[in-house]
Chains A and B, each alone.
Chain A
Amino acid sequence: MSSIELLTNKEYKYGFVTDIESDVIPKGLSEDTIRLIVEKKNEPDWMLEFRLKAYRHWLKMQEPKHWPNITYPEINYQDVIYYSAPKQKATKASLDEVDPELLRTFEKLGIPLSEQKQLAGVAVDAVFDSVSVATTYKEKLKKHGVIFCSFTEAIREYPELVKQYLGSVVPTNDNYFAALNSAVFSDGSFCFIPKGVRCPMELSTYFRINNAESGQFERTLIIAEEGAYVSYLEGCTAPKFDRNQLHAAVVELVALDDAEIKYSTVQNWYAGDETGKGGIYNFVTKRGACRGRNSKISWTQVETGSAITWKYPSCILQGDNSIGEFYSVALTNHAQQADTGTKMIHIGRNTRSTIISKGISAGKSNNSYRGLVKVLAGAAGARNYTQCDSLLIGSKCGANTFPYIEVMNNTARVEHEATTSRISEDQLFYLMQRGISQEDAVSLIINGFCKDVFRELPMEFAVEAQRLLGMKLEGSVG
């Protein structure tokens, strides 16, 4: 009999609800809803057109229910609140004007918004339900020419930049959830790193869903001009509710010549309880375009939350010599389902991509890696290395690997390797006979299993991720 026996999850500690007065629009989705959002946010006409175009595409599209390895009851898109914003003063010149209740909420989540208390060197944009409530270090970043602000502000202040890049990586008709997001997205983060600038600090956005009936539809757009560099972090939590909530985000990254974008995510949305009741449906489209020569986009993700994760951060390697990377740890426990992976589209010459994916399934969960490596005819000298490892803990979970490899150029080299195994009794025995408790031994082995990914994370995030895995898998001895 297996000596590794998981007990229960530690309580999801981010599951509290903030009692705050909100400005909420009625449930339901129609062109009127979109007009209402535009009105609320006081957006220009071109945004309304963008949204309506997306909405009309969405009406004609089919929900992708057949190919992903996930099952869920029908989503009633008319039963979702598409805009929910905490009531606050119209403009917030400084953090002092932000509702103290909100500041306390983020404080409690470990994201202090007052700059003096912050971890030095990380600028934060905090998004609460549908709107961004605060962005820190804006002034300091501005001195370097870096624009980091909420999406609403970007549309107001930098319409030309937004117009030029919005929808250029993920078109409005890209897929069902991207179209939905394009129609109703309410806020998000916007970053622009001008030519030759190395962003002096790490930028981060913290997403929080608070309203039980609202969905969150945020949009992130990051542009790194020639030679620019930015490291961007993203974190997410939500309260515990019995009903499922929808989260459909779109992230677009653009890297021009010699630019580098490093995008890290620690996703810890509420995953539902042991029986699979409640939790977030996380349907996210993330895509980066390496437009310029020698550009690089690197995705690192630690996916531990959400009832359902449907997410494929991708790189379009258009510029010659551009590099795409994907490092992922996806952990599922209880009744969670994850269908996640990446797409690497090699278009330019000598483009390179690396995919390292580590899946851990426990409980009754189902964890799938689905990835596409596509080498187009012009991508001479393209190189890909893919490694997908899965670890199964317990006999009721599932681990699947679905790699798609399409090669149209004979100078390309593509390698794919995958393994599935469980924690070996030998490894456990070795650690335990050295006096390490079984729980610590399991934790050590899992951390070792994920090390290739963790070392890609910025330091604070790596610590957080390790802690999170330990907590999620808090298990014990039989």
Chain B
Amino acid sequence: MTQAIKEENEYAAAFRALQETAERVAPAWVARLREQALARFEQVGFPTTSEEDWKYTNVAPIARASFAPTFDKTSDDLTPDALAAYTYAEAAQSRLVFVNGSYRAELSDLRELPAGAVIRNLADALTSEHEAILRAYLARAASIDESTDGFTALNTAFINDGAFVYLPKGAQLSAPLHLLFLANETNEQTAIFPRVLIVAESESAATIIESYEATDESVYFTNAVVEVFVGANARVTHYKVQRESDAAFHIATTQVELERDAHYDLTTITLGARLSRHGIHVKMAHAGASCAVDGLYLVGTGQHADTHSLIDHIAPHCTSRQLYKGILDGKSRAVFNGKVFVRRDAQQTDAQQTNKNLLLSTDARVDTKPQLEIFADDVKCAHGATVGQLEEEELFYLLSRGLHTELARNLLTYGFAEELVEKLKIESIKAQLDEAILNRLHARLEV
């Protein structure tokens, strides 16, 4: 709890700088929110492994390092063409780009925007006619109170640039919207605080890709908070692709609130970062809502990937599905902690949760903790978790057909992931993932 003591000075200094420079533009309530958030961070600091939720993930390296947020718009020479490796063809004309946390209008492209929809930089929206919407929704799902963890508090203290997506009643995004968070020419002190607010009013629909990319393999710290509100009968399909540098720290929180009969679909793909943690919290406080929260983590030597999900069934007749798959190679470690919480009134809940892990090396380690907490009786809830390796018999079958051992192993590994890959509706992401899995294959064949 007290790890923050040393570091808070660095964060506090950056905080004062932000409050002073932005004071002229940001409304008073934003300044107050930041103050509250910083106070909360100074109170709780970074979590330690003695806290049940952080039992298997030690964030001491983040607390020890001297990260400091910067808000200078760097004068790099990035051009839209240079971003080709990080963008998706499906979202060629609907894209917001943030470099080291700062919004870059010249790299963004919003030509394909339906009437009424608002997609813009959060910092700009705060001083625009949309302020009232922001005031109603910002820091509502990821609120600052007695239960806020240090990371969410820290991100909120530095709310500035970020993505603001507002879909009024009935608006439908024709193409997927891509929110690209790129780390470029970072140094060992770079701390990035991406913030995303998605408000989808009733009967609207959108597909949103949130991706984290890096141009080199340096050390930096990303601390993201994403808030999603899905209105009655609205539908949000959300992809989170995390391809940070292999030396980076990535802590992300996704907070979702669903209205009546809303549907939310999240797929998380975790490939990068030295230490990553994704917390996903879906609150279903209105009847008939449904969500599907899936994920695939593929980690190798030196990587640690942690997923924490909490599906909170508050209202009756809600459905949730979770499927998380992990592939671990080398000396890597993965953590899965999923909780399905069915409250007293949430009768007729149908909840399923599955976590499957494939260990490819003797040094890999998995800690999985799927939990059910159920206080209503007329429910259907099930969870399952497995940890295993490739089947000897399946391997033998492929070898007997003349396949090279490594190829056979990779085919089976691919087969393990396929259940999730197949569900992806965006071809470019599918291709990207295929490549990530197949790259391993090439790497192995060359040996």
Contact = CB atoms under 8 A, between A and B. Distances in A.
Nearest to A396: B344
Nearest to A416: B385
The majority secondary structure among interface residues of chain B is strand
29 contacts: A375-B387, A392-B376, A394-B377, A395-B344, A395-B378, A396-B344, A398-B375, A400-B373, A400-B374, A401-B370, A402-B371, A403-B385, A405-B368, A405-B385, A406-B365, A406-B366, A409-B359, A411-B362, A413-B389, A415-B385, A415-B386, A416-B383, A417-B382, A418-B382, A418-B384, A420-B372, A421-B380, A421-B381, A422-B379
A419 B381 contact: yes
A398 B378 CA distance: 12
Contacts of B379: 392, 420-422
Interface in B346-374: 347, 357, 359-362, 364-374
Q: How large is the interface on B (under 10, 10 to 19, 20 to 34, 35 or more residues)?
A: 35 or more
B402 interface: no
A409 B383 CA distance: 23
Contacts of A18: none
Given A418-B383, A421-B379, A399 B388 contact: no
A421 B376 CA distance: 9
Nearest to A4: B377
A399 B382 contact: no
Contacts of B357: 407
B386 A414 contact: yes
Given A420-B381, A421-B380, A405 B387 contact: yes
Interface in A406-442: 406-422
Given A395-B344, A395-B377, A407 B369 contact: no
A406 B367 contact: yes
Interface in B373-429: 373-389
A238 interface: no
Nearest to A408: B365
Given A2-B378, A418-B384, 12 more contacts: A398-B375, A399-B374, A400-B371, A401-B371, A405-B366, A406-B56, A407-B387, A409-B362, A412-B388, A415-B386, A418-B370, A422-B377
Interface residues of A, number: 37
Interface of B: 52, 56, 344, 347, 357, 359-362, 364-389
Contacts of B385: 403, 405, 414-416
Contacts of A399: 372, 374
A414 B370 CA distance: 13
A191 B368 CA distance: 38
Contacts of A397: 375, 377
B365 A407 contact: yes
B56 to A, nearest CB: 8
Contacts of B344: 395-396
B370 A403 contact: yes
A404 B369 CA distance: 5
A410 B370 contact: no
A67 B381 CA distance: 23
Top-10 shortest CB links A-B: A410-B359, A392-B377, A401-B372, A414-B387, A416-B385, A398-B375, A420-B381, A400-B373, A407-B387, A405-B368
A2 B376 CA distance: 13
A409 to B, nearest CB: 7
A449 to B, nearest CB: 14
Interface of A: 2, 66-67, 375, 377, 390, 392-422
A401 B366 contact: no
A376 to B, nearest CB: 10
Contacts of A406: 56, 365-367
Residue of A404, A405, A420 with most partner-chain B CB within 10 A: A420
B375 A403 contact: no
Contacts of A403: 369-371, 385
Contacts of A404: 367, 369
Given A414-B388, A418-B372, A420-B374, A407 B367 contact: yes
B326 to A, nearest CB: 11
B325 to A, nearest CB: 15
A410 B369 contact: no
Nearest to A414: B387
A422 B381 CA distance: 10
A409 B388 CA distance: 9
B371 A413 contact: no
A412 B378 contact: no
Contact of B383 (A2, A66, A401, A407): A401
A414 B355 CA distance: 11
B419 to A, nearest CB: 17
Contacts of B384: 415-418
Contacts of B380: 420-421
A448 B265 CA distance: 38
A397 B376 CA distance: 7
A128 B357 CA distance: 50
Nearest to B384: A417
A408 B387 CA distance: 10
A396 B347 CA distance: 11
Given A396-B344, A421-B379, A416 B370 contact: yes
A397 B368 CA distance: 26
A390 B374 CA distance: 10
Contact of B367 (A398, A405, A411, A416): A405
Nearest to A367: B374
A420 B352 CA distance: 10
B382 A420 contact: yes
A416 B336 CA distance: 13
B387 A413 contact: yes
B344 to A, nearest CB: 7
A409 B389 CA distance: 10
B43 to A, nearest CB: 19
A296 B360 CA distance: 30
Residue of B380, B381, B383, B387 with most partner-chain A CB within 10 A: B387
B365 A402 contact: no
A390 B365 CA distance: 29
A407 B359 contact: yes
Nearest to A423: B377
A421 B372 CA distance: 12
B378 A410 contact: no
B360 A410 contact: yes
A387 B362 CA distance: 26
A176 to B, nearest CB: 16
Contacts of B372: 390, 399-401, 418, 420
A375 to B, nearest CB: 8
Contacts of A408: 365
Given A405-B366, A416-B385, A420-B382, A410 B361 contact: yes
Contact of B376 (A395, A401, A402): A395
B347 A410 contact: no
A272 B383 CA distance: 33
A418 B375 CA distance: 16
B377 A393 contact: yes
Given A403-B370, A416-B384, A410 B377 contact: no
Contacts of B56: 406
A398 B364 contact: no
A113 B360 CA distance: 58
A418 B370 CA distance: 9
Contacts of B361: 410
Given A393-B377, A422-B378, A410 B389 contact: yes
Nearest to A362: B377
A398 B343 CA distance: 9
Nearest to B353: A418
B438 to A, nearest CB: 21
A267 B133 CA distance: 58
Nearest to A404: B369
Residue of B374, B383, B386 with most partner-chain A CB within 10 A: B374
A66 B359 CA distance: 33
Contacts of B388: 412-415
Contacts of B383: 401, 416-418
B348 to A, nearest CB: 11
A410 B364 contact: yes
